[in-house]
Amino acid sequence: MTVDLVVKHATVVTPDGKVPDAGIAIDDGTIVSLGRSGQLPDAERTIDANGSVVVPGVIDTHIHNREPGLEYKGDWESATRAAAAGGVTTVVGMPNTDPVIDRPEALELKFERGEAAAHVDFQSYAVVTSENVDRIPALDAAGALGFKIFLGSTVGDVPAPTDGEILDAMTAIRETGKRLGFHEENGEIIDHYERQYRAAGKNRPIDHAHSRPVLAEREAVERMITFASDRDVPIHMFHVSSGDAADAVARGKERGVDVTAETAPHYLWFTESVLEEKGNVARVQPPIRSTDQHERLWEQFSAGVIDCIATDHAPHTDEEKLVDDPFGDTWAAISGFVGLETQVPAMLTFVDEGRLELEEWVYHHSTRPAQVWGMYPQKGSLRIGTDADLTIVDTDEAWTLEDRHALHSKNTVTPFEGESFVGRAHTTIVRGQVVYEDGRVTGEPGDGTRVDVD
Ligand code: NCD
Ligand code: ZN
Ligand code: ZN
């Protein structure tokens, strides 16, 4: 038997451990065997990994792909090109597009655009607002991966439903078997302080961070855990930024609530001093926190409380980010920055520093996200018969992101410019197709497809 592709002489790493001098055989987009390098079948093409680490394809379940409607910021093609170049094989798009993804027609349009343009596999959340609780079954049937509620105002100004409407939404989502995630900041608290800060003329980048206190995040986590425990619905906390919010997630898990959480590399890498160094470039919601909150977030991440790593990749133009005047009036700047191509390097740098094991990285960045969002074992497992999504990484390469314009996103503002890393992805394989190698995106728009979930 001759298969399509064999990757050999790799150290294959899964959450279960590391296997040296191993390889993977792929046919028709699927993993057909795993074994020692010498025992794999013949192939049309063989990639000699030369001792590199091969892991189940990295999954980023939090990107703002911006399409439909906000293509001036980014689109499916540019986001998934960046994903391929960053070693990411599946992405999940957020619903704060234009139109917002609040009805089946909008979701179908988003999927159609993705089928035409994506370099890697993709999915999307549907949003729940005051207006569309009755459309939850239809959004489920149209194939949404899960649901999202914005509790506090953020980019896109999607209004938060009332607490009563959230309870109704939870009852409806429970019937779908899917998970409900939150932008968890208490909207009344952050709106109140924003008004107060603006009136007092506090307009530095760090003032924006302080106007959205940790308390607003923690309270939102606790309230949603209380609601979910009553309605018996699985929930998820997007972009957990603080030790206090992580502690609240831990308490929810201890109580037996099905609450999962993610954090982003920027919360693990930076503390709020980055706002004094890089200004509005590092402005994000929720904000990058104090050293104390950052260290306690790390403690909870190390303890396993945070399930997933996801970027919150959020491209904006240089003008929107006030790049020419990074310390200008923060209320004129927008929140969010790109992350697809710096997440694997950041996490591998933490591995290099001894802050986590490679197996733990794979768990949080591939296996666990697939489980949380119902894509496992098709994604995130490396099991025979599943999608042949692989990320091949060099764990030793030391490098610096000298110039953000080398990134593949349409807009490239990131606080990681100028940061130094150890490790990066050098080859990305989606369902057996090499979409990135040797510094080049080798796939075509449309290679990616929607991940089907029931
Ligand atoms: C996100 C965006 O730009 O869409 N911005 C951000 O600061 N995180 C919105 C969000 O995730 O809340
Ligand atoms: Zn958010
Ligand atoms: Zn986001």
DSSP string, 116-165: HH-SSEEEEEEE--TT-GGGHHHHHHTT-SEEEEE-S--TT-PPPPPHHH
> Which residue carries 């996801």 as its tokens?
310
CA-closest residue to ligand 1 atom 5: 336
Nearest atom in ligand 1 to 284's CA: 7
Distance of CA 27 to the CA centre of its chain: 28
Asked if 313 and 173 sit in the same domain, the reply is: yes
Instruction: Give residue 241 CA to ligand 3 midpoint distance, Å.
Output: 12
Whole-angstrom distance, CA of residue 65 vs CA of residue 73? 9
Residue 132 in any domain: the answer is yes
Task: Give 134's contacts (C-beta < 8 A, 6+ positions apart).
Answer: none
Q: Is 167 exposed, middle or buried (0-12, 13-18, 19+ CB in 10 A)?
A: middle
> Ligand 1: residues within 6 Å at CB?
64, 96, 154-156, 183, 284-285, 312, 314, 335-336
- From 65, 124, 155, 182, give the residue whose CB has the most ligand 1 atoms within 8 Å, as the site to mutate: 155
Q: What is the pLDDT of residue 454?
A: 77
Distance 154 CA to ligand 2 centre (A): 7
119 lies in which domain range?
58-372
**pLDDT attached to residue 1:** 82
Burial 68-95 (b: 16+ CB within 10 A, else e): bbbbebbbbbbbbbbbbbbbbbbbbbbb
Q: What is the pLDDT of residues 411-431, one digit of tens each?
A: 999 999 999 999 999 999 999
Pairing of strands 235-237, 259-263: parallel
Going by C-alpha positions, the residue among 186, 187, 238 that lies closest to residue 215 is 186
- One-letter amino acid at 126 equals A
| AA identity, residue 446 | G
Structure tokens at 351: 């591995």
CA 261/CA 240 separation, integer angstroms:
7
- How distant, in Å, are the alpha carbons of 115, 122, 266, 381 from that of 445? 8, 12, 29, 25
Span 210-227, pLDDT tens digits:
999 999 999 999 999 999
Two structure tokens written together for 221: 């986590």
β-bridge partners, 30 = 27, 387
Proportion of the chain above pLDDT 90, given as a percent: 99
Residues 88 and 111 in one domain: yes
- pLDDT given for residue 339 in this prediction: 98
* Domain total in the chain: 2
Percent share of the chain, pLDDT over 70: 100
Nearest residue to 56 via CA among 343, 265, 369 = 369
Both 433 and 309 in one domain: the answer is no
Q: In terms of DSSP bridges, do strands 17-27 and 30-36 run parallel, antiparallel, or are they unpaired?
A: antiparallel
Do residues 25 and 63 share a domain?
Answer: no
- Where is 269: in which H helix or E strand? helix 265-269
In this model, does residue 349 exceed pLDDT 90? Answer: yes
- Please calculate the CA angle 204-157-126 and round it to the nearest 5 degrees: 130
Same domain assignment for residues 10 and 104: no
Q: In which band, very low, low, confident or very high, does the pLDDT at 319 lie, cut at 50, 70 and 90?
A: very high
Q: CATH number, domain at 343?
A: 3.20.20.140
Residues 147 and 43 in one domain: no
- Rounded to an integer, the average pLDDT of 282-310 is 98
Do 158 and 145 fall into the same domain?
yes
* Cα–Cα distances in angstroms (integers) from residue 161 to residues 132, 174, 187, in the given order: 10, 17, 11
For residues 239 and 340, give the distance between their C-alpha atoms in angstroms, rounded to a whole number. Answer: 14
C-alpha 46 – ligand 2 centre gap (Å): 42
Examine the domain organization and report whether 327 and 342 are in the same domain. yes
CA distance 385 to 124: 24
Asked if 309 and 357 sit in the same domain, the reply is yes
**335 CA distance to ligand 1 middle (Å):** 6
Nearest ligand to the C-alpha atom of residue 125:
3
Angle value at C-alpha 315, between 99 and 101, nearest 5 degrees: 20
Considering the domain architecture, whether residues 225 and 266 belong to the same structural domain is answered as yes
Do 87 and 206 lie in one domain? The reply is yes
Q: Note whether residue 27 is domain-resident.
A: yes
pTM exceeding 0.75: yes
Query: What's the pLDDT tens digit per position in 184-208?
Result: 999 999 999 999 999 999 999 999 9
